[in-house]
Every structure is written in structure tokens, then in C-alpha cells.
Amino acid sequence: MCGIVGLLRCGDGAVLRRMTRLLTHRGPDDEGFWESDDVLLGHRRLSILDPTPAGHQPMVSDGGELAITFNGEIYNFRQLRTELEQLGERFHTGSDTEVLLAGYRQWGDDLLPRLDGIFGFGLWDAQAERLLLARDHVGVKPLYWHRGPDGALAFASEIKPFRLLPDFVPAVSRPALRSALRFACNLETETMLAGVHKLLPGQRLVWQRGGVEVHDYWQFPEPAPRIEDPKATAGRLREVLERTIQAQMISDVPLGAALSGGLDSSGIVALMARAGGRVKTFTVGHGADDPDLLASRVVAEHCGTEHTETLVEAPHLADLAPRAMWFLEEPAGQMEAVQMFLNYEAAAEHVKVLLVGEGADELFAGYDRFKLFDQKLPLTPGMRRALYERVYMYADRQPRHLLAGLASRLAWGPLPGSPLPDPHPRHAEPPLQGLGREAALERALNWDQRTYLHHLALKRADATGMAHSLELRVPFLGKEVVECAATIPGRLMRKDGIEKWVLREALRDVLPPRIAQRPKRPFQMRHGSSLVDTLDLMSEKLLQPGDVAARGFFDPAKVAKLLRDRPSTRKPVVAQRVWSYRVWATLLCELWARLFLDRDPEAPAPSSLQEVL
């Protein structure tokens, strides 16, 4: 993978170089710059395909009319190259970047729906005086943009370089801040850094003569379930997964897989092993008795992998949090990001590409909240909708529905209060009203795919991988897999109370029985006294009332009440966990401000909490 930057009518070559070098971790192998009048492109390269100097970027077409800075991998570039050669195109490198230039020359923006891969790129068409920005279909790779005065535009792979733009004044976006607290991630299209926007998955942005237009070129397909034999459905899914994984194993550098011991990552490892070669696997856990570590060892032995384990303990959080936040760039109110950060750090010592299991839960109904759509639960549509909204991420209030509110308190206990002084955000919830259970489940999955998946899961994975110059690939989000999943009925996603039933059937014969039957276990920090002590320590240093008041993000009295109202051990475990996530999100918001509002924009990632106090 790589890091890209572009400037139109703003900044100069010196600004471009400073911005680009902030992305060195995304591309430690090479750097390049291209300038033409008011158009400047920068690139940091992580060499994966064609690591020779021929793949240097920004890349310019033979006639000089097109220039591109590209981050990503195009899995079907060889097929596209063959098609383009038949149309008269000639190639000088073995890179997928050159295929993008030729594809644009032949097809224009119609190139985008033809692509199967993970990417973000900026392509300048000098003849049309036109810039095209595009992000991959599901949002694996990030791309951000900012409009300046007089038609100026800047874009980059990360948020932090925008602070180096002339006259850019860093400030928090209040809607993004509220979203980060309410949903444990920012679901807004504006980032936490006001004025910097996300190009959403499957979108293209066109700048021409100072004007900007943003359009979708692809969306997650609407649910279109087929009625067919369950075993035939599982067999069809298996074939698609095998093709996708084989395509994503293309690499000119060492490649491995993250392994948690759950169904998703274990299935990827098993199919990689069947495709050929000895797989390198990497696991993170919490002590010798961690069920994930034990299960991962079973899979590693079954598949004959070269296996590496990394341990994480709650006290690590205090010093890892500011370091991870520098790469995450927005609060992610779940502590899994720190676990990923450590696992990918260990993996980067051995490989440059890692296949991961993100996306399977959103495609095949893996999360606990999807239990609310099981036939055996005697819930009215109104109760089901109210309870689903209660557990969709982290709610601020109990359901207004009387019976749902009572059930919520009994099952999940009290909700932690929000420290925000302004009204809680009411981001649109999944449109489930009036739908039967199966259709409601299908609609809820589609909603997750369009929102939570890229705003949190994929953002977190990309940031923590690229922090260590590690490219992550996500087989479950290959185009063909996503389109196949949209045709599978909800009753096969959850069958007889078993989550991801159809995926289990598709992978059953390549996995040890105990892994194929293993229930989903959340990838979470252990919740215990050590974790609470760490949160207390961080709160003492970061959330003093005077500092909270001066920052202006939160109400100091509400912060104090949140910290004081820790659920007792007699309350449901989920209540304790949600409280810890709310405290964690509050801490991360303050850390974010210290890193992205207070600190020198070119300061490196902090190595400890002490550096930001």
C-alpha cells in the first residue's frame, strides 16, 4: 500500500513534500513528486507488485496528458491489461498503476465499476483540466479531501497532512465528536478535523474548473435473496471464497494472515493453505489461558502454518493509546484497536501483506445483536426494532417502548451517561419498521455494510496495519463475495440460533470440528480490575475538571458522574463493558485533541502517555 497527497491551487512544492512525508509509514520504500502549474501530486510507496523502479509514482502516461498517484491493489489488473492490450494499449511495467492510466484513457470514469480491488487514487487529466478522485467499492482504503478558497482542493490518504495547508485552522467538528461518543466511531462524512471530509466507499469526486461533484459509482447491493437448497448456497459461497482468496494472494513480497481462532480468520487461513504454500499466521491474546490463543494454535497446527503469538495486558493501554491514536486519527471507542496495533506490529517483522477477516460479521450476521431476529424470540416488530436500536453500537438512552425498556434493563443493565453538553446525535437507524424477521435481518446487515463497516472496522484495520507499513487485504469484502452474500436469505445467515450458519457450512470441511462449531467470541480486551485501574489512571491524567472545562468538548460534571457511575460486578457484564467503552471513547477524544489540535503537526507519533501530558 501507499500514501498519496494532492494539491490543486493551494500550497507549493515545499508544502507538498512536508505533507507527503507525514505518510512515510504508509510507504517506506520510495517517494515521488509531480508538479504541473497549479497541480501537485505526492506519493509514498510500499512496494507490493512490481517492486522495481518501473513502478515509481506519481506515474505519468507516455504523452504526459495523464498523471496518477495511487494507493492500493487492483486484483483483476491482469485481466484488464489483456483487454486493454486488445484495444491497442502498450505497457512498460508490470504494475497495476499503469493499467489504471490506460483504463482511464480508454474508458474514462467507466473504468471504476470494472475494478476489483482496494484503492484510493487521484488522477489528473491535463487535457480536460480535470481531477478524478476514487475510493474502492467497500472502503478498505481511505481517501480524504478539503476544499479551500477560490476553487482550491487538497486530498490525502490520512487526515493529519491537512494541518500543513496554508491558512488551515484546526478545529473539532462537533457533529463528528458527538457521533464518536454515541456510536463509538464517527459516522459523519466530515472527519473530527473540521473541513476535512471522507470520500465514501464506491464514490468518485470530480474537480473541474474549480467546481466539485461527488457521485456514487457503486453501492452495496440491496438484499435479493434466492430460494435454493441450503447446501447448494453454501457450495456456491465456497467457490466464490476460493477464487477471491486465490486472487488476493497475488504478491511479490512475503504474505501472511491474522488468526484469532474464530471462524472467519480460520477459514481464510485454511483456504490459503489449500491454495498452496506455507502460511505465516499471527495472533494476539491475553495470557496463556486465552481461548483465542488456544483455538489459534489448533488452526495453526491443522493448517501447518508458521505461527507467532503476541500478548497484551490492560496496563499496556495507557502508553499504547496515544501512539495508536496518532495513526487512527479519530476516536474508536473499542479497545480492539490496541490489540490489532500490537498484532500487526509483530506481523510486520515477517511479512508485508496480511489477509484479515473483516467484513464477515457484517455480511453473514455474526454480531450478538442479530440474535434479536431469531424466530424463537417472542418479540413484536416494535419491540425488536426498539431493542435493536438499544444495542446498535452504544445507545445513550433506554428504549421508549415500555416492554422493550424493561427487557433492556433486565438483560443489559444500566446505560452510562454521555459527557456531552449538547444534544445526543440521532443518526439514522436501520430501516426495520414493518418488516418481517427475515427481511429485517437482511436490511440490518445491509445497513451495517453501508455505515459501521467502513466508518469503524475498516478504518481501524487500515490505520493499525499501515502504522507498521503492513498492507491488509480483506477477502470477505471482495466484490464477488459481497454480491454473493446479498443473494443469501436471512434464514441461512442465522439458522437454528447459529450465527453465520451458511459460512460455517461453506468452510466446515477445511476446519477442525471444534473450530467450525465454535461460537463467535468478541475480539475484546479482558474486562477486569486491571482494565478499570488503567482507565482510572488515564482519567486522572487526562480528564481533570479544569482541563475538561478548558477543552470545551464535555461537561465536567457529566464526566465526573460517568467516572463515578461504574456498574457494580452484580450488573450484567455487558453493562460493565459498555461503561468501559464510554470512558475509553471520552479519553480518546481528549487524546485526539492533544495530538491534532495542540501538538506540532509534524511531531512524530508519541511513544508514551507522558509525551502528551
Which of the four pLDDT bands, split at 50, 70 and 90, describes residue 16?
A: very high
Rounded Cα distance, 476 and 361, in Å: 9
Residue 244: give its domain's CATH number: 3.40.50.620
Which of the four pLDDT bands, split at 50, 70 and 90, describes residue 429?
A: low
Q: Are residues 325 and 359 in the same domain?
A: yes
- Residue 464: inside a domain: yes
What number of CA atoms fall less than 13 Å from residue 310's CA on the CB side? 21
Q: Classify the phi-psi angles of 365: left when phi > 0, otherwise alpha if psi is within -120 to 50, otherwise beta.
A: left
| Residue 291 structural domain | 230-364+453-516
Mean pLDDT across the stretch 595-609? 96
Which of the four pLDDT bands, split at 50, 70 and 90, describes residue 569?
A: confident
The three-class DSSP label of residue 176 is helix
DSSP state of 495: B
- Residue 327: inside a domain: yes
Q: Which is higher by pLDDT, 422 or 169?
A: 169
* Torsion over CA: 302, 305, 306, 311 (sign): negative
Mean pLDDT across the stretch 49-66? 84
Segment among 75-84, 311-320, 323-332 with least mean pLDDT: 311-320
Rounded Cα distance, 75 and 52, in Å: 19
Rounded Cα distance, 42 and 53, in Å: 16
Rounded Cα distance, 499 and 495, in Å: 7
Q: Are residues 150 and 263 in the same domain?
A: no
- Residue 482: inside a domain: yes
Which of the four pLDDT bands, split at 50, 70 and 90, describes residue 509?
A: very high
| CA-angle at 160, arms to 591 and 212, nearest 5° | 130
pLDDT score of 380? 87
String of DSSP letters for 334-397: STHHHHHHHHHHHHTTT-SEEE--TTHHHHHT-SGGGGGG-TTS---HHHHHHHHHHHTTT-SS
DSSP state of 90: -
Cell of 566: 461504574
Q: Residue 438: pLDDT above 80?
A: yes
- The pTM score is 0.95
- Residue 540: inside a domain: no
Query: Mean pLDDT, the chain, as a whole number?
Result: 91
Q: Are residues 62 and 102 in the same domain?
A: yes
Q: Let me know: does 133 contact 155? Beta carbons within 8 Å.
A: yes
Q: Which is higher by pLDDT, 284 or 251?
A: 284
Q: Are residues 64 and 149 in the same domain?
A: yes
Cell of 559: 464526566
Residue count of the chain:
613
Q: Let me know: does 120 contact 179? Beta carbons within 8 Å.
A: no
Question: Which of 316, 322, 187, 334 is closest to 596 using CA atoms?
Answer: 322
- Residue 76: inside a domain: yes
pLDDT score of 260? 92
| CA-angle at 486, arms to 481 and 491, nearest 5° | 115
Mean pLDDT across the stretch 346-361? 94
Q: Are residues 211 and 236 in the same domain?
A: no
Mean pLDDT is highest, among 249-258, 399-408, 429-438, 504-513, for: 504-513
Question: Which of 595, 602, 37, 597 is closest to 321 using CA atoms?
Answer: 595
Rounded Cα distance, 266 and 259, in Å: 6
pLDDT score of 410? 87
Q: Are residues 200 and 263 in the same domain?
A: no
Name the domain boundary from 516, 532, 561.
516
Q: Are residues 155 and 98 in the same domain?
A: yes
Residue 106: give its domain's CATH number: 3.60.20.10
Q: Which residues are paired to 54 by β-bridges?
A: none
Q: Are residues 255 and 200 in the same domain?
A: no
Rounded Cα distance, 356 and 294, in Å: 19
Question: Which of 104, 212, 241 is closest to 150 using CA atoms?
Answer: 212
Question: Number of structural domains, the chain?
Answer: 2
H-only helix segments in 508-568: 513-516, 529-542, 545-551, 556-564
Rounded Cα distance, 418 and 597, in Å: 23
- Residue 510: inside a domain: yes
Burial (CB count <10 Å: 0-12, 13-18, 19+), residue 402: exposed
Q: Are residues 76 and 127 in the same domain?
A: yes
Mean pLDDT across the stretch 53-78? 92
Mean pLDDT across the stretch 511-534? 79
pLDDT score of 394? 61
Q: Are residues 212 and 247 in the same domain?
A: no
H-only helix segments in 119-185: 174-183
pLDDT score of 386? 86
Q: Are residues 235 and 280 in the same domain?
A: yes
Q: Residue 298: pLDDT above 90?
A: yes
- Residue 398: inside a domain: no
Question: Which of 568, 440, 548, 562 is closest to 493 using CA atoms?
Answer: 440
Q: Residue 510: pLDDT above 70?
A: yes
SS (H, E, C) 6-50: EEECCCCHHHHHHHHHCCHHHCECEEEEEEECCEEEEEEECCCCC
Q: Are residues 142 and 116 in the same domain?
A: yes
Q: For the chain, report the end-to-end CA distance as a whole number of angstroms.
A: 33
Rounded Cα distance, 7 and 19, in Å: 10
Q: Residue 504: pLDDT above 90?
A: yes
Which of the four pLDDT bands, split at 50, 70 and 90, describes residue 412?
A: confident
Name the domain boundary from 495, 516, 537.
516
Rounded Cα distance, 182 and 426, in Å: 9
Mean pLDDT across the stretch 473-490? 96
Mean pLDDT across the stretch 602-609? 95
Rounded Cα distance, 457 and 460, in Å: 5
- Residue 212: inside a domain: yes
pLDDT score of 52? 67
pLDDT score of 457? 94
Segment among 51-65, 351-365, 449-463 with least mean pLDDT: 51-65
Q: Residue 317: pLDDT above 80?
A: yes
Name the domain boundary from 469, 486, 516.
516
Buried b (16+ CB within 10 A) or exposed e, 243-263: ebbbbbbbeeeebbbbbbbbb
